[in-house]
Chains A and B, each alone.
Chain A
């Protein structure tokens, strides 16, 4: 078998509607399976472990069944379907183009027999009959034109010729959507980043579908200038916002306040508000300072990286902040990021510039009592920094997808609500020396609607002919 015959075979197989339907059924069945077996990208890792035994999970993973929609064979299947769609369209295109560009304007006797709708009337004056037919067709929106091939003894009328392209438009739109999706699958990425208020970060954790920790560095830094949450009276979240500034090679290039459903789009990269949280590092800490010598306690608010002046010229700063501490070998260590059991090291600097270090170990005692200082400090309050949870995605293929969607909307409108209707009229001999006005028509879809229309036209034409040719009262309406 030569290359050519193999190619012909492949082409024939892929250019058949049957293959296309088979492929789309396979895609449908596999997709359904993908909704029944938990998929890694859309499930929590814990859920996967709970749902399946380790051996089962290992087998499912190896077969690629836990991430069907990103498996190479699934993409291959989609590509194959696209190829099928292209071949089917290419295969049928010449025919459609012929109908569009070179319409059959004259109905030969053989063609006349093949038409589903025909009607004929006995007429005396063929010229008048034809012009009448032309006028009646015009009334129904058909622009009838004389056909030169038959010495203008025939008419050809059609409506909505463009309708033959509807199917190509729909197929093209599907290709656009698939192409966009495939482009995104190859060059697109999607990840998350948490940016605390006041900081600028530029590395996202990719959703690599395995729950891993693959990072990607963005071409810019995202600085969070502020973030906040509004809640309803019942405590459920109403609005999340963050004010973002993008810093590209050291310069501030763009800024926007984003909310959920209103992303920040910059150079094809989209930044979404996805969650909101509280950092375990406070912005400021407020201490209650009680003079050891006696006197009323005073509240002092200290920025985490800064100083606050006390009444008698001393200043207070926070040297260390540990959100959740433990002590080992007389050293303070961090246990976790939950700010529930903090330890704070304070620096009390007197007028001479001497700094005294004091510890508050919250779990033991919320005070610096007994540490030999002019004040006793206790933690009163903290203002926490917010961090904003952002989703960052780069999906250049989506323009193909949206183009496809719009094309499809038009394609479907044309496909379902327009139809190519063609009507031929010609004068034929009735075999007994008389003349007949013959009318025949066909359509590419929606037969019954056309049938109704054709019957209306023939009834109207009969009425007109009856009125015009009084001497010929015996008009016959026969359906072939």
Chain B
């Protein structure tokens, strides 16, 4: 322990790495600036688009500095990052407030607005976790998520849409607010549980297996639902009317981008290889397989990045047909938020794994001790669970006001209940059986996996009443 401390003190602050990171951050900000410029900037300087842009630049800076701290361990970076996050949070708040006042209702009615609120909550929770619980490293996980979310928002339609009658309810707004808060708390508990596993000296190859499993799950579910004889089914989008193309009531038209299905099949296989290598390594108890698996992770990550680039290029340019409709149709990224979120999510997870692979020792020195993380995870779930309960209750109350049934077992409701059961199980095990440490951390991770499925999977994979949330 003392040796490690001496080493940390003697090691010169690695300026080059940070320089590279800041450089990347600036390049990133420029890319975002280009993206933002593509959208028309109008309205006052304090308007939503400008404020969101300011928040994005500040969050990107903060994310870079947090990651810089993650890599070099220099405390000063955290203070600066924290300041940037706080200022970005103010800009973010202004963006939320502006939209709220323009729309005359809280911003929760579509994907864009939900992400806006989600980012706001996540930044707030990051600041709280840092100040109140002294978990400084948390920003290096949460801030990149906010940056990716804000970039996704730049791709989504941001015009203030009028609400159809069923959505004009205060209870719905209460429901969605609580959902955002509780899901953000669940995301935080997931991050903390992962950090606990790192601090608890779980083997790096186990993280590789976990990351691979996540990637395989993403691409497998994508292909299971969208693979159409070598092509990839995407939602058709009418660029002029700014709406999805409907085949019949409630059924959107899926057009087929040729060959993209095969490409993603290859990506899926490439993601499967490291997982299989890990399993073989475990069975044969041969460490050399784990090295190969790590190399496999590079390969699949590269392929995934290529896949993303091709996906964006083909979605943005070109019109495609479908057997059930005549003619060719355009599509757009906003019409396919789940495909995009899945691919980007897989890549971010892979990059985080690489960070762990290269900088594990440095990371471990910067994180709070395992027992603190274990405890904070529990406390965050103690916040998430009552919020989850009230969220379900508010949703039920709204459903009762809107269509006369407080519980109709539609998939979204059912999965919200399953999420509730999983977290209730976590708390029972923790309180009555004294489950702590690794078992509890796995439970928290399982809980968040269910949350992700409820949020994305149910709308994307299963048909349901809540399908309008996709638009």
The A-B contact count (CB < 8 A) is: 114
Residues on the A chain within 8 Å of B403, using CB: 272, 274, 391
Q: In angstroms, how far is the closest chain B Cβ from the Cβ of A2?
A: 32
Q: Are B425 and A272 in contact (CB under 8 A)?
A: no
Tell me whether A190 and B401 are in contact in the complex, defined as CB-CB below 8 angstroms, given that A412-B385, A416-B382 are known contacts.
no
Max chain A Cβ within 10 angstroms of own Cβ: one of B165, B166, B421, B422? B165
Q: Are B463 and A232 in contact (CB under 8 A)?
A: no
In the complex, chain B residues 203-262 whose Cβ is within 8 Å of any chain A Cβ: none
From B165, B410, B421, B462, A260 is in contact (CB under 8 Å) with B165
Q: What per-residue 1/0 map shows which CB atoms of B384-424 lie under 8 Å from chain A?
A: 01100110010011101111111111110011011001101
In the complex, chain A residues 209-267 whose Cβ is within 8 Å of any chain B Cβ: 232, 234, 236-240, 259-263
- The residue in chain A whose Cβ has the minimal distance to the Cβ of B422 is A28
A179 at the interface (CB under 8 A from B): no
- The residue in chain A whose Cβ has the minimal distance to the Cβ of B378 is A446
Q: Are A395 and B405 in contact (CB under 8 A)?
A: yes
Q: What per-residue 1/0 map shows which CB atoms of B167-188 lie under 8 Å from chain A?
A: 0110100000000000000000
From A41, A263, A409, B408 is in contact (CB under 8 Å) with A41
A408 at the interface (CB under 8 A from B): yes
Q: Are B410 and A262 in contact (CB under 8 A)?
A: no
Question: Whole-angstrom distance between the alpha carbons of A20 and B402 in the complex?
Answer: 34
B375 at the interface (CB under 8 A from A): yes
Max chain B Cβ within 10 angstroms of own Cβ: one of A42, A181, A401? A42
Q: How many residues of B contact A (CB 8 A)?
A: 45
From A35, A395, A405, B393 is in contact (CB under 8 Å) with A405
Tell me whether A261 and B169 are in contact in the complex, defined as CB-CB below 8 angstroms, given that A28-B418, A35-B462, A236-B162 are known contacts.
yes
- The residue in chain A whose Cβ has the minimal distance to the Cβ of B172 is A261
Tell me whether A412 and B404 are in contact in the complex, defined as CB-CB below 8 angstroms, given that A35-B411, A42-B465, A448-B375 are known contacts.
no
B432 at the interface (CB under 8 A from A): yes
Residues on the B chain within 8 Å of A402, using CB: 397
Question: Whole-angstrom distance between the alpha carbons of A395 and B396 in the complex?
Answer: 13
Q: Are A408 and B389 in contact (CB under 8 A)?
A: yes
Residues on the A chain within 8 Å of B405, using CB: 190, 393, 395
From B168, B386, B406, A409 is in contact (CB under 8 Å) with B386
Q: Are B414 and A260 in contact (CB under 8 A)?
A: no
Q: What per-residue 1/0 map shows which CB atoms of A62-74 lie under 8 Å from chain B?
A: 0000000100000
Q: In angstroms, how far is the closest chain A Cβ from the Cβ of B21?
A: 36
In the complex, chain A residues 1-46 whose Cβ is within 8 Å of any chain B Cβ: 17, 21, 24-25, 27-28, 31-32, 34-36, 38-39, 41-43
Residues on the B chain within 8 Å of A391, using CB: 403-404
Tell me whether A34 and B409 are in contact in the complex, defined as CB-CB below 8 angstroms, given that A43-B463, A47-B463, A261-B401 are known contacts.
yes
From A39, A261, A262, A392, B409 is in contact (CB under 8 Å) with A39
Tell me whether A259 and B409 are in contact in the complex, defined as CB-CB below 8 angstroms, given that A35-B415, A42-B465, A190-B404 are known contacts.
no
B131 at the interface (CB under 8 A from A): no
B458 at the interface (CB under 8 A from A): yes
Q: Are B417 and A31 in contact (CB under 8 A)?
A: yes
Tell me whether A445 and B386 are in contact in the complex, defined as CB-CB below 8 angstroms, given that A43-B463, A260-B165, A392-B404 are known contacts.
no
Residues on the A chain within 8 Å of B382, using CB: 416-417
Q: What per-residue 1/0 map shows which CB atoms of B71-97 lie under 8 Å from chain A?
A: 000000000000000000000000000
Max chain B Cβ within 10 angstroms of own Cβ: one of A24, A28, A239, A259? A28
Residues on the A chain within 8 Å of B385, using CB: 412, 416
B45 at the interface (CB under 8 A from A): no
Q: Are A398 and B414 in contact (CB under 8 A)?
A: no
Q: In angstroms, how far is the closest chain A Cβ from the Cβ of B382?
A: 4
- The residue in chain A whose Cβ has the minimal distance to the Cβ of B417 is A31
A480 at the interface (CB under 8 A from B): no
Q: Are B406 and A398 in contact (CB under 8 A)?
A: yes
B431 at the interface (CB under 8 A from A): yes
Max chain B Cβ within 10 angstroms of own Cβ: one of A181, A263, A270, A405? A405
Tell me whether A35 and B389 are in contact in the complex, defined as CB-CB below 8 angstroms, given that A27-B421, A448-B375 are known contacts.
no
A413 at the interface (CB under 8 A from B): yes
Q: What per-residue 1/0 map shows which CB atoms of A155-187 lie under 8 Å from chain B?
A: 000000000000000000000000001000000
From B168, B408, B425, A24 is in contact (CB under 8 Å) with B425
Q: Are B414 and A35 in contact (CB under 8 A)?
A: yes
Tell me whether A21 and B425 are in contact in the complex, defined as CB-CB below 8 angstroms, given that A262-B401, A272-B402, A416-B382 are known contacts.
yes
Q: In angstroms, how far is the closest chain A Cβ from the Cβ of B84?
A: 32
Question: Whole-angstrom distance between the alpha carbons of A47 and B463 in the complex?
Answer: 10
- The residue in chain B whose Cβ has the minimal distance to the Cβ of A27 is B421
Residues on the B chain within 8 Å of A272, using CB: 402-404
Question: Whole-angstrom distance between the alpha carbons of A260 and B402 in the complex?
Answer: 6
Residues on the A chain within 8 Å of B389, using CB: 405, 408-409, 412
- The residue in chain A whose Cβ has the minimal distance to the Cβ of B383 is A416
Residues on the A chain within 8 Å of B431, using CB: 445
Q: Are A237 and B406 in contact (CB under 8 A)?
A: no
Q: Are A260 and B418 in contact (CB under 8 A)?
A: no
In the complex, chain A residues 388-443 whose Cβ is within 8 Å of any chain B Cβ: 391-393, 395, 398, 401-402, 405, 408-409, 412-413, 416-417
Residues on the B chain within 8 Å of A270, using CB: 404
Tell me whether A42 and B166 are in contact in the complex, defined as CB-CB below 8 angstroms, given that A272-B403, A405-B393, A409-B386 are known contacts.
no
Q: Are B165 and A17 in contact (CB under 8 A)?
A: no
Tell me whether A261 and B402 are in contact in the complex, defined as CB-CB below 8 angstroms, given that A34-B414, A413-B386 are known contacts.
yes
Residues on the B chain within 8 Å of A260, using CB: 165-166, 168, 402
Residues on the A chain within 8 Å of B398, using CB: 261
Question: Whole-angstrom distance between the alpha carbons of A317 and B464 in the complex?
Answer: 49
Residues on the B chain within 8 Å of A409, using CB: 386, 389-390, 393
- The residue in chain A whose Cβ has the minimal distance to the Cβ of B418 is A28
Residues on the B chain within 8 Å of A232, using CB: 162
B38 at the interface (CB under 8 A from A): no
In the complex, chain B residues 421-466 whose Cβ is within 8 Å of any chain A Cβ: 421-422, 424-425, 428, 431-432, 458, 462-465
Q: Are B165 and A239 in contact (CB under 8 A)?
A: yes
B1 at the interface (CB under 8 A from A): no
Q: In angstroms, how far is the closest chain A Cβ from the Cβ of B105?
A: 13
Tell me whether A261 and B404 are in contact in the complex, defined as CB-CB below 8 angstroms, given that A34-B409, A413-B386 are known contacts.
no
- The residue in chain A whose Cβ has the minimal distance to the Cβ of B394 is A405
Tell me whether A401 and B425 are in contact in the complex, defined as CB-CB below 8 angstroms, given that A17-B432, A32-B414, A445-B431 are known contacts.
no
Residues on the B chain within 8 Å of A69, using CB: 409
Q: Are A38 and B463 in contact (CB under 8 A)?
A: yes
Q: In angstroms, how far is the closest chain A Cβ from the Cβ of B350?
A: 28
B283 at the interface (CB under 8 A from A): no
Question: Whole-angstrom distance between the alpha carbons of A239 and B167 in the complex?
Answer: 11
Q: In angstroms, how far is the closest chain A Cβ from the Cβ of B430?
A: 9
Q: Are B458 and A238 in contact (CB under 8 A)?
A: no
Tell me whether A393 and B404 are in contact in the complex, defined as CB-CB below 8 angstroms, given that A42-B409, A259-B165 are known contacts.
yes
Q: What per-residue 1/0 map shows which CB atoms of B306-336 lie under 8 Å from chain A?
A: 0000000000000000000000000000000
Question: Whole-angstrom distance between the alpha carbons of A69 and B407 in the complex?
Answer: 11
Q: What per-residue 1/0 map shows which CB atoms of B266-294 lie under 8 Å from chain A?
A: 00000000000000000000000000000
Q: Are A416 and B166 in contact (CB under 8 A)?
A: no
Question: Whole-angstrom distance between the alpha carbons of A239 and B386 in the complex?
Answer: 34
Max chain A Cβ within 10 angstroms of own Cβ: one of B162, B393, B406? B406
Max chain A Cβ within 10 angstroms of own Cβ: one of B404, B410, B417, B428? B404
27 chain-A/chain-B pairs, Cβ below 8 angstroms: A17-B428, A25-B421, A28-B417, A32-B415, A32-B418, A34-B409, A34-B414, A36-B462, A42-B409, A42-B411, A232-B162, A239-B168, A260-B168, A261-B401, A262-B401, A263-B404, A274-B403, A392-B404, A398-B406, A401-B406, A405-B393, A408-B389, A409-B390, A412-B386, A416-B382, A416-B386, A417-B382
Extra pairs beyond A27-B421, A31-B418 (9, CB < 8 Å): A24-B424, A28-B421, A42-B410, A42-B465, A260-B165, A261-B168, A263-B404, A398-B406, A416-B386
Q: 7 closest pairs, A vs B, by CB? A: A260-B165, A393-B404, A35-B411, A69-B409, A232-B162, A405-B393, A416-B382
